[in-house]
Copies of this chain bind each other. A is one copy, B any other.
Amino acid sequence: MFFASDNSGPVPPQVLDALNRANDGHSMAYGADALTDQVTQQIRTLFEAPEAAVHLVATGTAANALALATLCQPFDTVFCSPIAHIHEDECNAPEFYTGGAKLTLVPGTDRMTPDALRSAIKTQGNRGVHGPRRGPVSITQVTEQGNLYDLDTLRALTTVAQHYGLSVHLDGARFANACVALNCTPAEMTWKVGIDVAVFGGTKNGLMGVEAVIFFDPALAREFELRRKRGAHLFSKHRYLAAQMAAYLQDDLWRRLAETANARSARLLAGLTSRADIRNEAAPT
């Protein structure tokens, strides 16, 4: 996975073909089209979650910020790693969308440990009304440094969160790369290990700009829709987002793209000799 090129390479021809096909005739606006319906059903099937609420947005930052806003009150704090994309690379978008919630950085590396998370949550609870209330936990998989959480660690992290009644968000900008590297299903990497809301990213894995936000408990769906519109992220011609996602899902394109990227990344890594050289790459085993 050569991260520097995640956003700079071309999209696969299947995506352009899908846009061409979606361009045939008229369809309903704002996501009320047949293609959006189809994609929603496909994602539910892929995630083995027939009741899930599924929504598409065009950027990963929108996916994360809207998901967190739906899980979080403005007087809460989100728990994440010190180098989480939501902290370092979104120009305060989570703070904006949540109405001013704080991000609490769990000490350690890009991979939070369950112990460090528990400790951070405990500490945060000591200040009563003076400190923010504990809010959701946000996990990035693959991490910003290209590392993976294995399924047991994910389960351990969500167990800590659940112990304190906190929900869990998965920033899956590189969801597909993780699934391939772990050789697991999307369900196994999300709700089966206790994830409440997952971002199923497409943009860093070949799409022009589409991410799916998946709420395994659909109760939050309507609020998400209102927040998405308020955030100016509801596309009038939503079918062109849906078309990209449809291509991504067709014949497991998402998985095949990730397999290629992971293999390339592994080859790159094999040829590198120092830690300094591999800045920006990942090595899913």
Residues of A within 8 A of B (CB): 5-11, 16, 19-20, 23-30, 57-62, 65-66, 73-77, 88-93, 95-103, 105, 127, 129-133, 203-204, 208-209, 223, 225-227, 229-237, 240
Number of copies: 4
In the complex the two chains form, is A8's CB within 8 Å of B28's CB? yes
Say how far A102's CB is from chain B's closest CB, in angstroms: 5
Taking CB atoms, residues of chain B closer than 8 Å to A102 are 92, 95, 103
Taking CB atoms, residues of chain B closer than 8 Å to A28 are 8
CA distance A237 to B223 in the complex (A): 28
In the complex the two chains form, is A100's CB within 8 Å of B89's CB? no
Given A26-B5, A75-B226, A92-B100: A203 touches B16 (CB 8 Å cut-off): no
Taking CB atoms, residues of chain B closer than 8 Å to A60 are 236
Give 8 closest A-B pairs by Cβ, nearest first.
A95-B100, A7-B29, A62-B232, A61-B232, A7-B236, A75-B226, A91-B229, A99-B99
Nearest B residue to A204, CB-CB: B236
Say how far A86's CB is from chain B's closest CB, in angstroms: 11
In the complex the two chains form, is A236's CB within 8 Å of B223's CB? no
Taking CB atoms, residues of chain B closer than 8 Å to A59 are 232-236
Taking CB atoms, residues of chain B closer than 8 Å to A225 are 129
Given A23-B11, A130-B229, A234-B129: A101 touches B93 (CB 8 Å cut-off): no
In the complex the two chains form, is A131's CB within 8 Å of B91's CB? yes
CA distance A234 to B232 in the complex (A): 12
Taking CB atoms, residues of chain B closer than 8 Å to A208 are 19, 237, 240
Given A209-B235, A232-B65, A234-B59: A91 touches B129 (CB 8 Å cut-off): yes
